[in-house]
Chains A and B, each alone.
Chain A
Amino acid sequence: MSELLFWFMTAMTIGSALIVVLHSNLFYSALALVVTLFGVAAFYVFLWADFLAGVQVLIYIGGILILILFGIMLTNKISSVNISHSNFHQGIAAVIVMGIFSILGWMILKTPWLHIVQQEPSQTVGRIGRLLMTEYLLPFEVASVLLLSALIGAAMLSRKAN
């Protein structure tokens, strides 16, 4: 059952990612990105990262995707004809990307991966919080400063110049 669900999520994620990349209507691309991000959150659950899955749904789908949809709606005229959003290098780009993917796949198959069998942890939030407050305290503070500066910078940039 779990195995079946995993392969279903894989097909869903990769398929919707293809729609994100290839669909000519940008709005449908953004909606397909919702499905992709949900699929990635499902992989987080499979990887025993329940807290990260929640964060993914909250921040990516609740925050970033809303921003992207705002960006699409603010910059597309409703009445404008549906021009193609892709440039003319699709063939070359497909070759390059397939090359990179096959190199990555070859590397994945050839490497003898370490495989440590572990018990599923009873909780993850406490461990993450403890790490954030001890080992990763400095990056945590830097991240908060980064968020503040991004907030101020975005407000400054999008203001009308006078």
Chain B
Amino acid sequence: MDQLQNYLFIAAALFSLGLFAVITRRNAVAVLMGVELILNSANVNFLAFSRFGGMNFNGHVFALFVIIMAAAEAAVALAIIINLYNNYQSINVDEASQLKR
């Protein structure tokens, strides 16, 4: 637990799983959950580099901004998802392809 590499591996695993969810899930809420996983892995990286790179708290502030951005993103994404549901009666991202036609 006093190794930088451990934290980087955990963050890489979380990032890969989040990316997998974003690619394969059809439900828009599940895609949003994948994005949250990716943001969390970025936060773990920020804090790990802050802890092992001199502890000067710039990483902490950045992680705080990432959390703020995630909150705003989740609110707007849920509003979009509810709109999508009202228009299509489903929230599958594959079916919302009106602009492609």
Contact = CB atoms under 8 A, between A and B. Distances in A.
A43 B44 contact: yes
Interface string A120-162: 0100100110011001100100010011001101110110100
A18 B17 contact: yes
Interface residues of B, number: 68
A121 to B, nearest CB: 6
A40 B4 contact: no
A46 B6 CA distance: 12
B98 interface: no
B78 A154 contact: yes
Nearest to A86: B24
B79 A154 contact: yes
Name the prevailing secondary structure of the A interface residues.
helix
Nearest to B20: A97
A71 B77 CA distance: 10
B90 to A, nearest CB: 8
B42 to A, nearest CB: 11
Interface in B49-87: 50-55, 57-58, 60-61, 63-65, 67-76, 78-83, 85-86
A26 B1 contact: no
Interface residues of A, number: 79
A100 B85 CA distance: 33
Contact of B94 (A47, A87, A105, A155): A87
Contact of B83 (A48, A87, A98, A157): A157
A21 B17 contact: yes
A14 B13 contact: yes
B76 to A, nearest CB: 5
A135 B61 CA distance: 10
B23 to A, nearest CB: 4
A67 B4 contact: no
Contacts of B23: 89, 93, 96-97
Give the 8 A-B residue pairs with the shortest CB-CB distance, closest first. A150-B72, A157-B79, A6-B1, A158-B79, A104-B12, A154-B79, A101-B16, A93-B23
Given A10-B6, A43-B44, A124-B57, 6 more contacts: A13-B14, A33-B33, A36-B37, A85-B30, A86-B25, A116-B54
